[in-house]
Amino acid sequence: MKKKFLSIKKLKNKKPIVCLTAYSNNIAKILDRHCDIILVGDSLGNVLYGMKNTHKVSLDMMIRHAESVMLGVKKSLCVVDLPKNTYNDYINAKKNCREILKKTNCHAIKIENYKNNHQIIKKIVSSGIQVMGHIGYTPQYYSKFKVVGKTKKEETQLINDALKIEKAGAFSIVLECIPKNIAKKITNILKIPTIGIGSSKNCDGQILVTDDLIGISGFKPRFVKRYSNLNKIIEKVTEKYKKDVINKKFPKNSNSY
């Protein structure tokens, strides 16, 4: 297991790290052939469950989806988000990390940065759990989207947080919606890999929400590149199916027993 983390860390300055999110086995199976890291993100709250943000995602939801994802993961590193209010103190954080790891067999936990929770990360890492940090726009702690790092004060805070999270023992860190010059500074200062989302190519790797990438979520902010329009495809397929059912063209004898 340690080898998996070492190999991710070693990718820094060698090859860009490829990461995507998955919430289910079928998607994870495909991503696993191409990604270094698969994240079971709490973005599933908005993306799958239609919640207005990630604030009410529960530990149980994360565990169920991570169990499904892990059925499809053979080679990549699977990281699971710790949802909001499940790591307010070290005791709870450790208990909940352990529950996720035990029930899902995933490889690591991601924790969004808030106030001084690098101290919690430090203790969790000391207890043998691998942690990925997350700074910048941390959706659990904002009610509205924001690019973080536009002021000198925010820049200093981001750099300090990144350094504290690295010192706490995180193996990697997500930089979400941070201006490109700051992302560059942080990536150059840290020894651990930075994984960007909306933070430019100046990061050691990139992550996107898969549903945005394939065009099924309907969400397309500036930082998303849509590689297909799956919504359109599903629309067409559904229309065709409907026609076939109405015209008794489906099922055929070959689809029947």
* Contact range with ligand KIV by CB under 6 A, out of 4-12, 34-42, 177-185, 242-250: 34-42
CB of 252 to ligand KIV, least distance (A): 41
Q: Does 42 bind ligand KIV (CB under 6 A)?
A: yes
- C-alpha–C-alpha distance, residues 54 and 257, integer Å: 45
User: Is 177 within 8 Å of 197 (Cβ atoms)?
Assistant: yes
- C-alpha–C-alpha distance, residues 13 and 116, integer Å: 29
List the one residue from 41, 136, 149, 196 that touches ligand KIV (CB under 6 A).
41
* Contact range with ligand KIV by CB under 6 A, out of 8-16, 39-47, 66-74, 99-107: 39-47
- Region of residue 161 (left: phi > 0; alpha: psi -120 to 50; beta: else): alpha
Length of the chain: 257
The nearer residue to ligand KIV, 42 or 204, going by C-beta atoms, is 42
CB of 57 to ligand KIV, least distance (A): 9
Q: Does 209 bind ligand KIV (CB under 6 A)?
A: yes
The nearer residue to ligand KIV, 222 or 252, going by C-beta atoms, is 222
- C-alpha–C-alpha distance, residues 166 and 62, integer Å: 25
Token output for 123: 């203790």
**What residues contact residue 189 under an 8 Å CB cut-off, 6+ apart?**
159, 162, 163
Q: Where are the alpha helices (DSSP H) in 33-151?
A: 44-47, 59-72, 90-104, 118-126
Q: Does 207 bind ligand KIV (CB under 6 A)?
A: yes
Q: Does 178 bind ligand KIV (CB under 6 A)?
A: no
| Residue 117 CB neighbours (<10 A) | 22
CB of 143 to ligand KIV, least distance (A): 16
67 included as an active-site residue: no
The nearer residue to ligand KIV, 41 or 179, going by C-beta atoms, is 41
CB of 171 to ligand KIV, least distance (A): 15
List the one residue from 43, 113, 117, 217 that touches ligand KIV (CB under 6 A).
43
Site for ligand KIV in 60-119 (CB under 6 A): 81
Distance of CA 64 to the CA centre of its chain: 16
The DSSP secondary-structure symbol of 175 reads E
CB of 116 to ligand KIV, least distance (A): 20
User: Is 145 within 8 Å of 115 (Cβ atoms)?
Assistant: no
Active site residues: 176
Residues that bind ligand KIV in the complex, under the rule CB under 6 A: 21, 39, 41-43, 81, 174, 176, 197, 207, 209
